[in-house]
């Protein structure tokens, strides 16, 4: 072993020495100590907590660095006799301070686990590769030729036409704002017209989907688009109303609150990856075309991976299952657990494709600057933290247009939170129940069930400080129990509805 590979032992030889050394050794030791002290005074400030383990570690690092650098400068030279005499001396103590094992409870979160993370990634890839090969050998290729496009897709043209006509409603909202800006209509009339426009933008797609026997994915896409337009129109109307109020206020009259209705700003807002309207947004200087191409390739790959998992794993599991609330309990638990892993993969791929790839691609093309579409929700210690971090566009919309307006109108904080979850639950139910033509309120109940989970995880977080109990509860209810259960419930209700129709 080379000398430079053991800086701790090299440093220890400069600090602990036996009294039986020769005079030349002691002179060399004092010279090294003077060199170390000079280095500390010139460029390194020693910590004040002398005498504890941290001070000893610091002194070891300084002395080891000095001595190792001296050795490194003479790496090509033959070591002198004095260097050899101070290396691996038996009289030097090998154990000099209290230390914890890296995996002990006191030190485990202070260590870097990058190597273990790499191991988990390798094991995950190896295990899932084996499962994919085993699945293909046992069941064959289960993806249908019409998975991406089939003759039935042509019957969804009413939904496509409905999607193309939805931009009429933002145009109507713009006309309303122009009329009130020129004092042709009053504020109550403005509110009434905006309510009519925003309500119609949701009811119109619902009627079209219910009257057409369309594919489930087509219905979900249309409902998601309609809900996004509704959220944007509410923000557009609410923000303009607030800007008019500020412009008329004598206390806050000024250039910063001058109200001007711009069609260009509305068009940019309707296509921008945000749900909160404002006249201008932070913009990036240019579009990175090569970056957009790379992200687009990733989007295609992960979208194909989602389709593969759905067709090859989820569909067979669901088709060979029973209704979770009507069959055997142990069998239902087994189906839910078996479905949880591929469902988790699809959900993570969906999050990565939409919130990271698609929204960043859209932001890059539009030079939209604020790209905090999500935070580190996977580290959420409570369900409340998760809902604040996983979907930032919706969270900002809820805070801006529901939560704080409720507080300003004297509504208690707890009631405001319930109202926000109620709005979220209604739109989750619309986006799933309408394309399925089933109104069993499973999605609504699942979202409203988050309210007691918020209280439970907040209590556990306050009781067990700096623990991940809430994080484990979040992962269990969302990925192991909640989502697979909803998939089974809606699938069997949908199959029962089709069976009765046939």
- For the annotated catalytic residues, the residue numbers are 428
- Tokens standing for residue 369: 């600057």
The closest of 19, 13, 68 to 39, measured between CA atoms, is: 68
What are the Cα distances from residue 10, in Å, to 3, 51, 88, 496?
A: 8, 20, 8, 76
**Do 447 and 424 meet the contact criterion of CB atoms below 8 Å apart?**
yes
CA distance 434 to 209: 7
Please tell me the total number of residues recorded for the chain in this structure: 502
CA distance 426 to 441: 9
What is residue 263's three-state secondary structure? Answer: helix
Secondary structure, 3-state, 385-449: HHHHHCCHHHHHHHHHHHHHHHHHCCCCHHHHHHHHHHHHHHHHHHHHHHHHCCCCCHHHHHHHC
What are the Cα distances from residue 451, in Å, to 418, 421, 466?
A: 7, 8, 22
CA distance 53 to 110: 15
CA distance 399 to 396: 5
CA distance 448 to 451: 6
The closest of 413, 388, 389, 392 to 403, measured between CA atoms, is: 413
Supply the angle between the helices 187-211 and 413-436 in degrees, to the nearest 10. Answer: 40
| Residue whose structure tokens are 């970056």 | 291
What is the DSSP code string of 361-385? HHHHHHTB--------GGG-SSHHH
Q: Which residues pair with 211 in a beta bridge?
A: none
CA distance 477 to 100: 35
């Amino acid at each position: 072993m080379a000398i430079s590979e053991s800086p701790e032992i090299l440093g220890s030889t400069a600090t602990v020495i036996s009294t039986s050394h020769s005079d030349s050794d002691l002179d060399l030791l004092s010279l090294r100590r003077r060199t170390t002290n000079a280095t500390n005074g010139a460029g390194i400030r020693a910590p004040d907590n002398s005498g504890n383990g941290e001070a000893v570690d610091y002194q070891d690092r300084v002395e080891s660095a000095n001595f190792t650098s001296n050795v490194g400068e003479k790496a090509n030279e033959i070591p002198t006799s004095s260097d050899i005499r101070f290396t691996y001396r038996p009289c030097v103590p090998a154990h000099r301070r209290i230390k914890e094992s890296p995996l002990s409870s006191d030190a485990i979160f202070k260590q870097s686990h990058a190597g273990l993370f790499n191991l988990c990634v390798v094991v995950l890839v190896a295990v899932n590769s084996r499962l994919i090969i085993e699945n293909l050998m046992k069941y064959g290729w289960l993806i249908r030729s019409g998975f991406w496009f089939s003759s039935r897709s042509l019957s969804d043209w009413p939904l496509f036409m409905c999607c193309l006509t939805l931009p009429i409603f933002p145009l109507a909202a713009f006309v309303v704002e122009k009329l009130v800006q020129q004092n042709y209509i009053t504020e109550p009339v403005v509110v009434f017209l905006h309510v009519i426009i925003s309500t119609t933008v949701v009811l119109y797609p619902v009627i079209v989907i219910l009257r057409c026997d369309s594919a489930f994915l087509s219905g979900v896409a249309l409902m998601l688009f309609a809900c996004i337009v509704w959220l944007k129109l509410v923000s557009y109307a609410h923000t303009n109303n607030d800007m008019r109020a500020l412009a008329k206020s004598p206390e806050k009259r000024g250039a910063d609150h001058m109200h001007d209705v711009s069609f260009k700003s509305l068009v940019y807002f309707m296509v921008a990856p945000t749900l909160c309207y404002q006249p201008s947004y932070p913009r990036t200087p240019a579009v990175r075309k090569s970056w957009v191409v790379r992200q687009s390739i990733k989007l295609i790959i992960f979208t194909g991976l989602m389709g593969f998992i759905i067709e090859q794993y989820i569909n067979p599991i669901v088709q060979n299952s029973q209704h979770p609330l009507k069959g055997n309990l142990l069998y239902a638990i087994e189906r839910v657990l078996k479905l949880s892993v591929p469902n988790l993969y699809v959900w993570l791929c969906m999050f990565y494709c939409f919130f990271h790839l698609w929204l960043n691609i859209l932001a890059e093309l539009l030079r939209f600057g604020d790209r905090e579409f999500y935070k580190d929700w996977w580290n959420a210690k409570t369900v409340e933290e998760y809902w604040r971090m996983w979907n930032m566009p919706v969270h900002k919309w809820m805070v801006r247009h529901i939560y704080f307006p409720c507080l300003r109108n004297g509504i208690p904080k707890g009631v405001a939170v319930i109202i926000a979850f109620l709005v979220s639950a209604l739109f989750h139910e619309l986006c799933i129940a309408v394309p399925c033509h089933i109104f069993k309120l499973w999605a609504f109940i699942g979202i409203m069930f988050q309210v007691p989970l918020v209280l439970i995880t907040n209590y556990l977080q306050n009781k067990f400080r700096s623990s991940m109990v809430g994080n484990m509860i979040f992962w269990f209810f969302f990925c192991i129990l909640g989502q697979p259960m909803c998939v089974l419930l809606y699938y069997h209700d949908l199959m029962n509805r089709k069976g009765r129709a046939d």
